[in-house]
Amino acid sequence: MTVFHLIFFGFIIIAGFYKGSAKNLVEPGGLAPFGVKGILDGAAKVYFSYIGYDSVSTMAEEIRNPAKSLPVGIAGSVLIVTGLYCLVALSLCFLVPYNMIDKDASFSVAFQKIGWKWAGNVVGAGASLGIVASLLVAMLGQARYLCVIARARLVPSWLAKVNPSTGTPLNATLFLGLCTASIALFTELRIIVDIISISTLLVFYLVANALIYRRYVIVSHNPPSQTLLFLFLLSSCSIGFSMSWKLEEQWWVLPVFGGFMVTITAFFQYMVPSICQANEEWSVPFMPWPAVASIFLNVFLVTSLKIPSFQRFGIWACLITLFYVLYGVHSTYRAEEMEVGVGEVSHPSIQQSKLDIQLL
């Protein structure tokens, strides 16, 4: 599928630049007809295109040297695919003006408008295969997420079963295949895109916060209050900047929030020491600036989404939280009790100390 996609994208890029015209980039309305705000709104919409790369990290157990292979694979694939995305989008704008791009089948209709109906059929077949590949990649990562969660008994342990011959989570893959097919069959694409975008942005936001906390508190053994205060101020400034941009407040508000974020980040870097573990083969460089940029961009893009996206995400989050409270907490506690019981039978000498801990 990957080889076919590369050939498919190469065909679109070459055909677009060959049959298109640079005049379509500026007519009508100029190079950016909706301004910077339109570009950022579009970025928030297509952010879900970058969720496949975190799936690579879920295969760490199946990689021979994950400490070296994962960073190279994730960063390299992001750079390559981002370049392909930009070239494909540029070729589409070469083919037809932006106001003539079809919302449902953009490339197929564009090729039909220039007289290449056969190319439109090829694009349709390639897009169908791309959808299948995207679903498979999503299932690949989610199945491994679900397998690890099932090991902790947060979901039924039946989902943690691994096939003895292939070494892959069989039950989790089958369950997610059924769920993915049902969602794809009965849900509108627009709703799925909005939910995936806001979920992805929230996950990346939490990961960036966790990265700073781990580096400066867990690894460097600094007091957590300093880092938590920094993260709170950083998120507050990001929200203030983003809302000022969205509501089109006075222009001087934006540099105030932006300058304050840069100032507190520089002050935090100077005042709070960071220590890298000697046994780590790879770690994020130039901390905390990459994580700070990630936090700001994720908050900024989240605020560009519409209110129905937040409402649907809130409903889904409430359902998941309810499941966790009613099932996950109790299932995990029972599993820990069983492990403690087995440990007490195997090591009766420490039974008294565990009893003291339970009493405390």
SS (H, E, C) the chain: CHHHHHHHHHHHHHHHHHHCCHHHHCCCCCCCCCHHHHHHHHHHHHHHHHCCCHHHHCCHHHCCCHHHHHHHHHHHHHHHHHHHHHHHHHHHHHHCCHHHCCCCCHHHHHHHHCCCHHHHHHHHHHHHHHHHHHHHHHHHHHHHHHHHHHHCCCCCHHHHCECCCCCCEHHHHHHHHHHHHHHHHHCCHHHHHHHHHHHHHHHHHHHHHHHHHHHHHHHCCCCHHHHHHHHHHHHHHHHHHHHHHHHCCCCCHHHHHHHHHHHHHHHHHHHCCCCCCCCCCCCCCCCCHHHHHHHHHHHHHHCCCCHHHHHHHHHHHHHHHHHHHHHHHHHHHHHHHHHHHHHHHHCHHHHHHHHHHHHC
Euclidean distance between CA atoms 57 and 77, whole angstroms: 13
Strand partners, 169: 162
Q: What does the pLDDT read at residue 47?
A: 67
pLDDT for 217-256, tens place per residue? Answer: 888 888 899 999 999 999 999 998 888 887 776 677 888 8
Euclidean distance between CA atoms 114 and 97, whole angstroms: 12
Report whether pLDDT(358) > 90: no
pLDDT for 144-167, tens place per residue? Answer: 888 888 888 888 888 888 888 887
Q: What is the pTM of this model?
A: 0.70
Q: What does the pLDDT read at residue 278?
A: 59
Q: What does the pLDDT read at residue 22?
A: 81
- For 214, half-sphere exposure in the C-beta direction (CA atoms, 13 angstrom radius) is 11
Report whether pLDDT(349) > 70: no
Q: What does the pLDDT read at residue 354?
A: 38
Q: What is the mean pLDDT of residues 339-360?
A: 46
Strand partners, 162: 169
- For 244, half-sphere exposure in the C-beta direction (CA atoms, 13 angstrom radius) is 16
Q: What does the pLDDT read at residue 341?
A: 57
Higher pLDDT, 138 or 260: 260
Euclidean distance between CA atoms 342 and 2, whole angstroms: 48
pLDDT band for 292, please (50, 70, 90 cuts). very high
pLDDT band for 352, please (50, 70, 90 cuts). very low
180-202 b/e with 16+ CB inside 10 Å = b?
Answer: eeeeeeeeeeeeebbbbbbbbbe
